Amino acid sequence: MKPVDEYFINQKEPYQSIMLYVRNVILNTLPEVKERCSYKIPFYNIEKKPMIYLNVLKGKDYVDVAFVQGILLENDFPILKNDNKRKQVRSIQLKSIEDLDHENFVALLQVAAQQLKKSKRAWFI
């Protein structure tokens, strides 16, 4: 079993269902994305650069769908929040699958992928 699959299996509900749904949307929207485990959480990379990661932060009751270059996307996608005062990462906090606007999320994924492909490196701050 791959480490990413193991990570999802070990999640409690509703986090497991939310993460598996988000994972499915990411993989279906961006066939070029590579899924891997890094820092013990699932990351989705394009051209070896991290674009998104999924996590359940300690003490929080939501899945954090974090965009590495989110600071560049937050003006066009106000759903992205600056949680935990992160310098460049912005995220969507999901307490249920219904919290995710599917069409808006697909558009966000596509724009984020284009942005990352133009970028020389993912972590710029």
Q: For all residues of the chain together, what is the average pLDDT?
A: 94
Cα–Cα dist 94/8, whole Å: 16
Q: Which two tokens stand for residue 72?
A: 């560049």
Mean pLDDT of the region 60-84: 94
Nearest Cα to 24, choosing from 105, 94, 78, 116? 105
pLDDT band (50, 70, 90) for residue 123: confident
pLDDT band (50, 70, 90) for residue 59: confident
